[in-house]
C-alpha cells in the first residue's frame, strides 16, 4: 500500500530566479463560476492564487499565441489543455519543445497517448492490466455493427475518445442507438469510443512522480447511491444541479485496494515521466471484477477534485502539492539541483 511521503520544497533563490508562465483558459478571469465552463474557472483561479502564495516569479496567459514566438520565461505550467479542437492536449508541450522551454507534465506524445482512450487501453493490455472490450469508431471510418464490442451486452456507453469531465457521454441499448450516438460525436469533430456498460464504482488512483518514480497517493472512490446512472458534463462542472452527490472517500479495502494499486502502478510505469496523473478503474463489488477505464495525465488540480483530495489524505495542503510537482519537474529538467 501507499507509503508515507513528505512534500518537496523549492529553494527560495529558485522561486525568484525561475520565470514561470502559468497558462490556463481562465488564468485572468478573477474567480467565480463561468457561464460555459462552470467551476473550471474557479479551479484555474485557485491554482493561480496558490502559486502566487508560494512566492514564485510568475507570468500569466490564457491563449496559445503567447508560445507562437519564444517567450522570455524559463518554465511553463500548462493548464490550457482543452482548447476546443482535437488533440489540443499536445499543443503547449509541442510549442515548448520547439522553443526548448521545460514544462510541467508529460511529453507531447505521452499526453496524446493518455488522451486517446482507445490507445491508452492498448497500453494497459501491454502492461497486463484488464480493461473492458471496446472499439473506437474513428471519424471518417465506416460505422459498422460488426465492430460493436460484446454484441449481447444490452447496454453500451458511447463517448468522445478524447474528452474530459464526461463531455458528450451517452448510453444505448441497441445498435441503432449506438450508431446514432457515434454519428453525433463524429459531427462534433471527434472519434467515438464504445464499450459495454460496466456496473460498479469508480476507484481513483492518483500518482505523482518523485525522483522519477511514480508514487501512489491514497486511493479514493466515489461511494454512489446509484451505480447505473451516468454523470453528465454539466453536473461535473456544476452548471446544473447534481442529482446525486456521491461522496469521494478513501478506498482501503484490505483485499481489493492492493490489487488495484498494483494494476495502477503497472499503468503509471508505462507513462514515466509524467509528473502527475489520475488512473481510474471500475470495480464491481459483487463480482470482484476490476477494469481499467482511463488515465488522465495533467489532470484537474482543483482542491475539490481527486488529485488534491488524495494528496490531502497523505497530509499535503494544496500549496504542498503544487510545490512538490514543481520541485520535482524543475529538478528533472535541470532548473534546480537534486535535493
SS3 279: strand
Could you give the residue ranges of the DSSP H alpha helices within 225-317?
A: 233-236, 256-269, 306-313
- Which pLDDT value is given to residue 235? 46
Q: What's the mean pLDDT in 243-261?
A: 84
Instruction: Inform me whether the pLDDT recorded for 146 exceeds 80.
Output: yes
Q: How far apart are CA 319 and CA 68, in angstroms?
A: 30
Structure confidence by residue, pLDDT tens digits, 39-91: 878 999 999 999 999 999 999 999 999 999 999 999 999 998 777 788 888 99
Q: How far apart are CA 225 and CA 247, in angstroms?
A: 9
Structure confidence by residue, pLDDT tens digits, 69-83: 999 999 999 998 777
Q: CB of 74 within 8 A of CB of 101?
A: yes
Residue 222: Cβ within 10 Å count: 17
Q: Tell the burial category of 2 from Cβ atoms under 10 Å away from its Cβ (0-12, 13-18, 19+).
A: middle
Q: How far apart are CA 120 and CA 133, in angstroms?
A: 13
Structure confidence by residue, pLDDT tens digits, 283-329: 999 999 999 999 999 999 999 999 999 999 999 999 999 999 999 99
Distances (CA, A) of 25 to 9, 56, 64, 183, 227: 27, 20, 9, 29, 33
Residues ≥6 apart with Cβ < 8 Å to 174: none
Q: CB of 298 within 8 A of CB of 115?
A: no
Residues ≥6 apart with Cβ < 8 Å to 179: 143, 145
Length of the chain: 339
- Which pLDDT value is given to residue 268? 97
End-to-end C-alpha distance for the chain, whole angstroms: 25
> Using 50, 70 and 90 to split pLDDT, how confident is the model at 166?
low
Residues ≥6 apart with Cβ < 8 Å to 283: 200, 201, 202, 203, 221, 256, 260, 289, 290
Amino acid at each position: 500500500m501507499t507509503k508515507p511521503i513528505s512534500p518537496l520544497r523549492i529553494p527560495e533563490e529558485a522561486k525568484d530566479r525561475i520565470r514561470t508562465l502559468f497558462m490556463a483558459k481562465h488564468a485572468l478571469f478573477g474567480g467565480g463560476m463561468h457561464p460555459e465552463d462552470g467551476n473550471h474557472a474557479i479551479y484555474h483561479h485557485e491554482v493561480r492564487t496558490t502559486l502566487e502564495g508560494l512566492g514564485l516569479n510568475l507570468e500569466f496567459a490564457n491563449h496559445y499565441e503567447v508560445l507562437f514566438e519564444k517567450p522570455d520565461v524559463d518554465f511553463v505550467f500548462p493548464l490550457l489543455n482543452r482548447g476546443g479542437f482535437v488533440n489540443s492536449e499536445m499543443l503547449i508541450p509541442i510549442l515548448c519543445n520547439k522553443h526548448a522551454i521545460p514544462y510541467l507534465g508529460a511529453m507531447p506524445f505521452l499526453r496524446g497517448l493518455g488522451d486517446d482512450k482507445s490507445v491508452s487501453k492498448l497500453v494497459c493490455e501491454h502492461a497486463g492490466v484488464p480493461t473492458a472490450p471496446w472499439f473506437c469508431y474513428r471519424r471518417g471510418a465506416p460505422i459498422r455493427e460488426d465492430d460493436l464490442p460484446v454484441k449481447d451486452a444490452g447496454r453500451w456507453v458511447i463517448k468522445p475518445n478524447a474528452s474530459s469531465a464526461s463531455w458528450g457521454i451517452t448510453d444505448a441499448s441497441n445498435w441503432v442507438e449506438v450508431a446514432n450516438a457515434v454519428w453525433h460525436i463524429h459531427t462534433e469533430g471527434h472519434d467515438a469510443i464504445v464499450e459495454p456498460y460496466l456496473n460498479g464504482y469508480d476507484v481513483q488512483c492518483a500518482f505523482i512522480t518523485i525522483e522519477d518514480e511514480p508514487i501512489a497517493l491514497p486511493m479514493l472512490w466515489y461511494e454512489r447511491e446509484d451505480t447505473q446512472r451516468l454523470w453528465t458534463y454539466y453536473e461535473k462542472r456544476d452548471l446544473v444541479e447534481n442529482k446525486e452527490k456521491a461522496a469521494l472517500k478513501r478506498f482501503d479495502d484490505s483485499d481489493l485496494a492492493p490489487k488495484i494499486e498494483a494494476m495502477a502502478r503497472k499503468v503509471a510505469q508505462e507513462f514515466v515521466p509524467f509528473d502527475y496523473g489520475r488512473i481510474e478503474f471500475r470495480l464491481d463489488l459483487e463480482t470482484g471484477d476490476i477494469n481499467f477505464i482511463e488515465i488522465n495525465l495533467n489532470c484537474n488540480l482543483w482542491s475539490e477534485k481527486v488529485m488534491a483530495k488524495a494528496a490531502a489524505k497523505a497530509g499535503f495542503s494544496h500549496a504542498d502539492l503544487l510545490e512538490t510537482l514543481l520541485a520535482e519537474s524543475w529538478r528533472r529538467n535541470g532548473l534546480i539541483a537534486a535535493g
